[in-house]
Amino acid sequence: MPEKRPYPDENGARNDSKRSRSNHGSPAPANADKLQAALAARAKVDAQLAAKRDAGIADARARAAAIAAKFGRPAPGQAPPAAPQSTSTNGHSTAPTGQSEAEDKNAALKARIAQALAGRAGSSATPPQRPPPPPTQTRIQHSPPDVDDAAQRARGGLNVGLHPSLMGEMKQEPKGKGKPMAPKFATTMANRRGESPAADEEKEEKNPYLDTTEKAGPDRSRLPRQIVMNQKGKYIEQGARLRRQEEMEALKRRIAAETRKKQLEESNEKGFLIPEPPVCEWWDEVLLDATDYSALDDPEKLKFNNDDSIVTVYVQHPVEIRPPQEKLVIPVKPMYLTKTETKKVRRQRRAAENKEKQAKIRLGLEPPPPPKVKRGNMMRVLGEQAIADPTAIEALVEKQIRERQEAHEEANEARRLSKDQRHEKLAAQQLGDAAKGMHLCVYKINNLSYGKHRFQVDKNAKDNALTGITILNPDFSLVIVEGGAKSCDLYKKLMLHRIKWTENGMPNSVREGNKEAEVAWLNSVDEEGQLKDFSQNKCTLIWEGEEKQRAFRKWGSRVCETDGEAKEVLTRAKMDSFWALAKSAA
């Protein structure tokens, strides 16, 4: 692995080798010889730099003197013989009276440079450098020192420059220094215009992240960090501590596992242990007048014939409760067969029955049936008899045909249900349908003034064992029915398809006591005796769903002149919301 590149120290010198590191965590011993050698090398380098700087200055002065002699001017650093010198208040020699203004500016610039270099040398933590020579009367044109951008960068890390907010105290040269400045006024008379007001000076914003205690700049040195060595046995102690902690955790887990195992073993052992029987079972305590079975020998201590005994001469038969899910089971419908399949099934069934009947006849269990004689097979079945007496044979055949027809009709009549039986069967089917769940349907009829329509609505509701009410109102009529699913489906077909709501006719004779006929707006004719126009009359299903139980005990109708009466009637069954729904429906 290549050796790491040495990092420069604070004074600019480089380390000859990497720092020595101790393997056991103790501080490394100081190397005094290397330190002395480094200091000596540094002093030697400083002496060489100073000699080169003095030689360069002397060489520059010699060249300047040669140039001045060539043009007939005094050499730099020498005063002309005719010009008297005057001493300034600060002790420096000043230029003669006849010196040009350019020389004064040059001297002032040199003084500023010397002052700036002296200030940097005083604020820096590095060893003091040799101060620059004092300004002289020379006219050497010195260009201002360029600001080294590398000096303003951080000495370590990623070599990133300082943030602009941290360079407030550093003097920076303008970007356009040394370039000719363009005029700030228009060069032609046409493009000239008034000067804009001077911009307000930008207020200096305080940077909350700037540390004002330390001076920021390229001369700020990096403070050396003290080398802190790890003490001997530091990481060994940490490793031992972690191992002890892991051992404690493993011990806790092992103890918990052993505890659980022990509890399971104890519970398993208890499961195989057979407890001793009690002295007296709890179901025998009510029959004994003692606490043990020793009282069985004494009849007086038995509670069999006492008044408070639980044993009586009666036998309790619990009431059978049929499971509620049986009424919700949907019966399986037989598969639908075509006519050809139906005939085939009938033929196979009759063949099986005939085969079984023939087997019984062969075994003598049943007498053989008489031959089935018809007009077509009469001569073939009764050949000789038919020839001997054809009239008698024909009468016999006619009699048998008549008997078979009567037997068939009697069998059909025996299977046919009577009117009461049909009603009972239909009622049982309707009750079974309603037991599976109650369904509710609400219909809105625009006009129910025709008597035939009212009769159909009322009669079919009663025939289908539906309960509910019909609300008759001048604006519209509301029909609410509740019952089984099949009954509601049949009634829905009647209300939406079978009844012709656009039909109208003259009213029939009215029975006495009919309150509906006494209301004028319930007649099928108007005041002039003309039939009302029912071309726009229709019936609409506005709500359909299921309910928990019946809300009406029977079927009926009610004439309500106003909305308040209709809502009052429906409120008793908690269905007043259907009236508002019907009014809002189109």
What mean pLDDT value characterizes the chain? Answer: 78
Residue-wise pLDDT tens digits, 353-364 = 999 999 999 999
396 or 524, higher pLDDT: 396
How far, in Å, CA of 434 to CA of 464, rounded?
11
pLDDT in tens, 227-255: 889 999 999 999 999 999 999 999 999 99
pLDDT tens digit sequence for 197-219: 554 555 567 788 876 775 555 55
479: exposed, middle or buried (C-beta count within 10 Å: 0-12, 13-18, 19+)?
Answer: buried
| 172 or 48, greater pLDDT | 48
Read off φ and ψ for residue 164, nearest 5 degrees.
-55, -30
Q: Which of 405, 409, 392, 400 is nearest to 374 (CA)?
A: 400
Predicted confidence at residue 409, as pLDDT, reads 96
- HSE at residue 502, side-chain half, CA atoms within 13 A, is 3
State the DSSP code for 125. Answer: S
- Range among 50-54, 86-90, 145-149 with highest mean pLDDT value: 50-54
What's 22's DSSP letter?
A: -
Taking only the tens place, the pLDDT of each residue in 91-133 is 444 444 445 677 787 788 788 887 777 655 554 444 445 555 5
Instruction: Give me the pLDDT at residue 12, please.
Output: 47
Give 268 or 339, the one with higher predicted confidence.
Answer: 339
pTM of the model: 0.41
Is the pLDDT at 221 greater than 50? The verdict is yes
CA angle at residue 426 from 424 to 429, to 5 degrees?
110
Nearest to 17 by CA among 26, 25, 27, 28: 28
**What percent helix, strand, coil does the chain show, rounded to 5?**
45, 10, 50
Provide the pLDDT for residue 443.
96
Residue 140's pLDDT band (cuts 50, 70, 90): very low
The pLDDT value recorded for residue 103 is: 77
> Region 293-313: what's the mean pLDDT?
82
Q: 545: helix, coil or strand?
A: strand
Residue 7 has pLDDT above 60, yes or no: no
Residue 160: pLDDT band (50, 70, 90) is low
Is pLDDT at 499 greater than 90 in this prediction? yes
Measure the CA–CA gap between 393 and 344, rounded to whole angstroms.
36
